[in-house]
Structure 1
């Protein structure tokens, strides 16, 4: 059998990239249906009050809980992935996510179970957060570490494609049930997207079972024993790189939840636009995001990931202003174009960061290091963004400029940290991985 330089089958790089894409699509579908439900129905079902602002804030609070659980999942499964292998860790995360998501579909609401309902919702949301926290790093590494020389940035970006693909399926699911009468949607319609996750889980496990363990990790394990406490090694030797990677991820992480979750609530509650119209527009934009990310990984492989990311962050700083101007018109084409402008800049950064971080850390601690960077960013920037957006919209009713400034500041943080990584010489490249020491 023909093999690549790492000893893997010639078909394994493509198979690993596809498996990473499918696995993260399922995980992000589960995460996005919660995000969509938190913007549309969870405030009414689990946190009823006389004031919609407080119900929405409570709903987005449980949404944020999942992000705060993600660093814990990254630490646990990063440790396991660096010691016993990427593949075993990924199967476990997929199972946890499936159980948590399907469980939400069977929950009683506040009207039926009182305070028990939101309590169970939070617990299952924590399970989702732990699962996605452990999933991301392993999926990126399975794709990137199987990649042949010269294709790491591109193939690692396939794991990132799961985000827009999962969003497409999540929006399709809620677009379908969103056409139900309001009473039916609030009674049983919202449960269908969560229960459908059971079928996706079976597909994901089957596909992942056919992918071999990472050849880089296998070769490393043969050369030496696994690092006893990978996260301690990372914090001791590469803490500054972790912080810079965390900051560099801000616009890709926070921008996605600003556009896909907060904007859904802002357009329907503040601007008074029709829910089905906004979902349809986001559905179209999700396809634009998917193809933008695919193209971004390909382009960045050729021009250099660090340079590409700096340009993406710079453009992202400018993108919210035309977005809000166009969305405020209420016209479908203008909404799609406005949101697409922001999404193309944001998703370009999101797609390429995976390859940049994969090359920034040694293989023996890589799962723990990139998980710590990315999931800490998710907890801080991703989980809080819809909450901060909701507070700003409430403080300046009918005004979008504070929201645009907030979005620009997120992009500015990423740009500064990317320049810091460039200054330290951490350019993603398609050669052997480099070990980073402070």
Structure 2
């Protein structure tokens, strides 16, 4: 097994804190848009459309941001694998903070007509582009600074940032939703976006004070830089790994999109208040923050695959029961059901999938591999599932006819579970192994009995 670069505990803690804070703020910015799209944007930027069509179009702009994430993952992954993790993460942070703040300053459709939604979509695409390079870098910085036996726990700091950002975004919009409609639509929705400028300054303070990944530095001094773009080399070297690494995440992330975003626009149509749906999502996400390091630490002991498989299968199994509970019309039951799913099921995937991905790729391809597979899965899963769920609901006749959405989650869950089972579990692998290195790597056996480095 390859030796690992030395790390000081204080530096590991500092990197973990930086990864957590930076990812929290970036995902606050990115996910704030999702909540605003479900509650406000159909009335502010698409007021010329009917309420139903306006909601679908607003959610389509949400999906557009997710689509841009893959391009960002390719571009920033390229530079992160070539020149290091730290500087790339600074760039993504600045772009995200500035574009999010700018959304809060946009004029509305009633003020400038069709230019308003066009500007909104443009800023959303920049948001997606920036966040496409953020998450992979944060996970790598935390995991590549950590020792092998605690890599899952260390990387969970970055994984906790996404739900933490979601809690902040949901809390901000919960406060906005409690305002009278006139105030909410005129200026209230802008405040959470404009706050991004101050949060950007805070995140930069911490991120500029960490050191580059020791694993990347060690690889850059012991092996020659391979020719060709990282994305091209990755797809040539291990195309099946890329496909499986993407597919295993799609099912549970679709569940996250349905019960974390779609539910906010769906619940009011069957008699719930907006605040009830937002409260359910916020409580569930708070619970996921607490359980993320628990699942990640468990994966350090028993492996990544068993934990992730549990979350994937639970999403498929619970699809019908969850919608049944939601459709009962009882606010307490809705809050309990949605919160329990987001808190107990999702962290098994969101808290462990990032480190599982980290251990699949060599150092020279790791930023690209982690970022592209994660962002592509998020795009297809979380990004498009609210739009797909809205369309499936309309196909089924509207109202509480959610059975097509449940079937959709079950089908994706089966596909994701199959892919997860087919991936190797490299939780004992040293991240110091590199593509051009002559050092001996740890051997890990995949389900078909083949040895994988």
TM-score range for the pair, normalised by the shorter chain length: over 0.9
Structure 1 residues 42-74: Cα deviation after superposition (integer angstroms, max 9, x where no partner): 011111245222101110111011011011100
Is the CA contact 2:45–2:117 (under 8 Å) kept in the aligned structure 1? yes
* Structure 1 SS opposite 2:212: coil
Structure 1 residues 262-311: Cα deviation after superposition (integer angstroms, max 9, x where no partner): 11111112x12111122122221111111122211111111111122122
Give ranges in structure 2 of 5+ residues lacking alignment: 436-451
* Structure 2 SS opposite 1:151: helix
The answer to whether the aligner puts 1:160 opposite 2:159 as a matched pair is: yes
Is the CA contact 2:100–2:127 (under 8 Å) kept in the aligned structure 1? yes
The answer to whether the aligner puts 1:26 opposite 2:25 as a matched pair is: yes
Aligned counterparts of 2:80 and 2:101: Cα–Cα separation in 1: 25
User: Equivalences for 1:47-126 in 2 at 5 Å?
Assistant: 47-126=46-125
Aligned counterparts of 1:238 and 1:435: Cα–Cα separation in 2: 15
User: Equivalences for 1:220-299 in 2 at 5 Å?
Assistant: 220-228=219-227, 229-269=229-269, 271-299=270-298
Is the CA contact 1:360–1:435 (under 8 Å) kept in the aligned structure 2? no
Could you state the TM-score of these two structures normalised by the residue count of structure 1? 0.94
Distance 1:434 1:417, change over 3 A: farther
Deviation at 1:194, TM superposition (A): 0.2
| 1:416 pairs with one of 415, 418, 435 | 418
Aligned counterparts of 2:365 and 2:226: Cα–Cα separation in 1: 7
The answer to whether the aligner puts 1:317 opposite 2:316 as a matched pair is: yes
Moved more, 295-304 or 105-114: 295-304
Aligned counterparts of 2:169 and 2:18: Cα–Cα separation in 1: 19
Report how many residues are paired.
Answer: 431
Structure 1 residues 138-167: Cα deviation after superposition (integer angstroms, max 9, x where no partner): 011001100113011221122111111011
Structure 1 residues 197-237: Cα deviation after superposition (integer angstroms, max 9, x where no partner): 11111111111111110000010111123334211110110
Is the CA contact 2:276–2:335 (under 8 Å) kept in the aligned structure 1? no
The answer to whether the aligner puts 1:143 opposite 2:142 as a matched pair is: yes
* Structure 2 SS opposite 1:161: helix
Aligned counterparts of 1:251 and 1:23: Cα–Cα separation in 2: 27
* Structure 1 SS opposite 2:9: coil
Is the CA contact 2:252–2:315 (under 8 Å) kept in the aligned structure 1? no
| 1:402 pairs with one of 401, 404, 410 | 404
* Structure 1 SS opposite 2:148: coil
For 2:43, the equivalent position in structure 1 comes to 44
Aligned counterparts of 1:44 and 1:258: Cα–Cα separation in 2: 22
For 1:210, the equivalent position in structure 2 comes to 209
Is the CA contact 2:144–2:213 (under 8 Å) kept in the aligned structure 1? yes
Give ranges in structure 1 of 5+ residues lacking alignment: none
Deviation at 1:332, TM superposition (A): 3.3
* Structure 2 SS opposite 1:94: helix
Structure 1 residues 63-102: Cα deviation after superposition (integer angstroms, max 9, x where no partner): 0110110111001110111111100000000000001100
Could you state the TM-score of these two structures normalised by the residue count of structure 2? 0.91
The answer to whether the aligner puts 1:339 opposite 2:338 as a matched pair is: yes
Distance 1:190 1:81, change over 3 A: same
Moved more, 259-268 or 225-234: 225-234
Aligned counterparts of 1:412 and 1:136: Cα–Cα separation in 2: 26
Q: CA RMSD in A?
A: 1.8
